[in-house]
Structure 1
Amino acid sequence: MDLMFAAIFLATGVIAGILAGFLGIGGGLVVVPLLSVVLPWVGIAPEKVMVIAVGTSLATIVFTAISSTYSHRKNNNVVWPAVFSLFPGLMFGAMLGATLGSQMDNNSLAIIFGGFCAFLSIYVIFGKRYVRPVADYGHSRGWLSLIGFFTGLISSLVGIGGGTMLGPALIWLGLEARRAVGTSATCGLLIAAFGSLSYVINGANEINMPEYTIGYIYLPAFFGIIATSVLFAPLGAKMATFFSERVIRTCLGIALAASAVKMFFSI
Structure 2
Amino acid sequence: MDLTLAAIFLATGVFAGILAGFLGIGGGLVVVPLLSVVLPWAGIPDDKVMVIAVGTSLATIVFTAISSTYTHRKNHNVVWPAVFSLFPGLMFGAMLGATLGSQFSGKLLAIIFGCFCSFLGLYVVFGKRYVRPVADYAHSRSWLSLIGFVTGIISSLVGIGGGTMLGPALIWLGLEARKAVGTSATCGLLIAVFGSISYLITGVNETNLPEYMLGYIYLPAFFGIIATSVLFAPVGAKMATFFSEKVIRISLGVALTASAIKMFISI
User: Normalising by the residue count of structure 1, what TM-score does the alignment of the two structures yield?
Assistant: 0.99
Alignment of 1:220-239 (within 5 A): 220-239=220-239
Alpha-carbon shift at residue 208 of structure 1 (Å): 1.8
Residue 54 (structure 1) shift = 0.1
What is the deviation of 1:136? Answer: 2.5
Show the counterpart of 1:164.
164
Deviation at 1:139, TM superposition (A): 1.1
> Deviations 1:2-59 (Å, cap 9, x if unpaired)?
1111100000000000000000000000000000000001110000000000000000
- Residue matched to 2:206: 206
Query: Following TM superposition, by how much is the alpha carbon of 1:219 offset from its aligned partner in structure 2, in angstroms?
Result: 0.2
Output the CA distance in 2 between the equivalents of 1:223 and 1:44: 17
Letter in 1 for 2:164: T
Structure 1 residue 135: Cα displacement? 2.7
Mapped pair 1:10 → 2:10: yes
Question: What are the residue-to-residue correspondences of 1:1-267 with 2, within 5 Å?
Answer: 2-267=2-267
Aligned partner of 2:16: which letter?
A: A
CA displacement, residues 60-105 of structure 1 (integer Å, 9 cap, x when unaligned): 0000000000000000000000000000000000000000000000
Q: Shift of residue 207 of structure 1? A: 1.4
Distance 1:145 1:208 in 2: 37
Distance 1:56 1:25 in 2: 15
How many angstroms apart in 2 are the aligned matches of 1:211 and 1:220? 10
CA distance in 2 between partners of 1:50 and 1:87 (Å): 27
Aligned identity (percent) is 85
Unaligned runs of 5+ in 1: none
In 2, distance between residues paired with 1:68 and 1:106?
30
Q: Once superposed, which parts of structure 1, at least 4 consecutive aligned residues long, lie more than 3 Å away?
A: 131-134
Distance 1:132 1:249 in 2: 19
Give the TM-score, by structure 2 length.
0.99
Opposite residue 176 of structure 1, the aligned amino acid is E
State the Cα distance separating 1:131 from its structure 2 match.
3.6
